[in-house]
């Protein structure tokens, strides 16, 4: 009995089978594989970026009460000295974490600046020298609401404004940028509006009673 021609052809040409089984991936399969790798890489990078932002926010919120505690511990917060309190005076008293201080400037976890300004005149029912303003600049818009809520819980008033502060502030921020006033809760609707204003980095100021 004669064997089928196909079987004879395959046995006569074994290279043909090897060539079919080891032909490799097609261009479509390669593109799909590259696409999957890109999606995974983007997801990982976004996750890392989000985690870093959360860590920066946590660090800034940890530094604020630390600065206040240091100023209180050094006996700086009295009616006379708080009136004229400046960032440089706070630096001289080692009130800031040492890794944030560089010469006469103080950075924050987001890479912006940190300032301390004494309350030189009465404001919102607080007498001159009764409080000071702690300012943080360079806050990303995506982190603005979280930072402001956290700081507001530690302070007595809060402001959110487009980032314009580049040197030691000389007084209170513009009243129109207030998202919380003394004796009142945080205005969450206004906070959302203020955090969306400016289209870039923001500055957050909080009033800290001595």
Residue 10 located in a structural domain: no
Residue 91 located in a structural domain: yes
Residues 6+ apart with CB under 8 A from 49: none
Residue 148 located in a structural domain: yes
CA distances from 82 to 71, 145, 168, 197 (A): 10, 28, 15, 31
What tens digit of pLDDT does each residue of 145-203 get? 999 999 999 999 999 999 998 899 988 899 999 999 999 999 999 999 999 986 789 99
Residue 19 located in a structural domain: no
CA distances from 123 to 142, 161, 175 (A): 30, 19, 10
**Domain of 167: which CATH number?**
3.30.1690.10
Total domains in the chain come to 1
Kindly state the helix (H) or strand (E) to which residue 19 belongs, with its residue range.
Answer: helix 14-21
Residue 16 located in a structural domain: no
Q: In the prediction, which pLDDT does 2 show? A: 52
Q: How many CB atoms lie within 10 A of CB 188?
A: 13
Residue 23 located in a structural domain: no
Q: How many CB atoms lie within 10 A of CB 69?
A: 11
Q: In the prediction, which pLDDT does 139 show? A: 95
Tokens representing 124 are 């919102």
What tens digit of pLDDT does each residue of 7-28 get? 444 455 555 545 544 556 687 7
User: Above 70 in pLDDT, residue 51?
Assistant: no
Q: What is the pTM of this model?
A: 0.75
Domain that holds residue 66: 30-209
Class of residue 82 by CB neighbours under 10 A (exposed 0-12, middle 13-18, buried 19+): buried
Closest listed residue to residue 159, CA positions, set 115, 96, 128, 105: 115
Residue 3 located in a structural domain: no
Residue 160 located in a structural domain: yes
The answer to whether 142 and 52 have CB atoms below 8 angstroms apart is no
pLDDT band at 31 (very low <50, low <70, confident <90, very high): confident
What tens digit of pLDDT does each residue of 108-121 get? 999 999 999 999 88
pLDDT band at 37 (very low <50, low <70, confident <90, very high): confident
């Amino acid at each position: 009995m004669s064997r089928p021609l196909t079987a004879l052809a395959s046995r006569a040409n074994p290279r043909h089978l090897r060539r079919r089984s080891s032909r490799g991936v097609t261009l479509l399969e390669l593109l799909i594989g590259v696409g999957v790798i890109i999606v995974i890489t983007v997801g990982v990078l976004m996750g890392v970026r989000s985690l870093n932002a959360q860590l920066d926010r946590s660090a800034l919120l940890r530094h604020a009460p630390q600065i206040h505690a240091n100023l209180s511990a050094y006996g700086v917060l009295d009616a006379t000295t708080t009136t004229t309190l400046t960032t440089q005076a706070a630096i001289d008293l080692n009130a800031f974490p040492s890794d944030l201080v560089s010469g006469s400037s103080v950075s924050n976890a987001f890479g912006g600046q940190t300032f301390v300004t004494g309350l030189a005149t009465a404001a919102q029912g607080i007498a001159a020298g009764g409080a000071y303003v702690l300012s943080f600049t360079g806050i990303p818009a995506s982190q603005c609401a979280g930072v402001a809520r956290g700081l507001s819980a530690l302070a007595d008033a809060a402001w959110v404004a487009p980032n314009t502060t580049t040197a030691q502030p000389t007084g209170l921020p513009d009243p129109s940028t207030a998202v919380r006033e003394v004796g009142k809760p945080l205005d969450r609707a206004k906070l959302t509006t203020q955090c969306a204003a400016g289209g870039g980095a923001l500055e957050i100021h909080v009033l800290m009673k001595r």
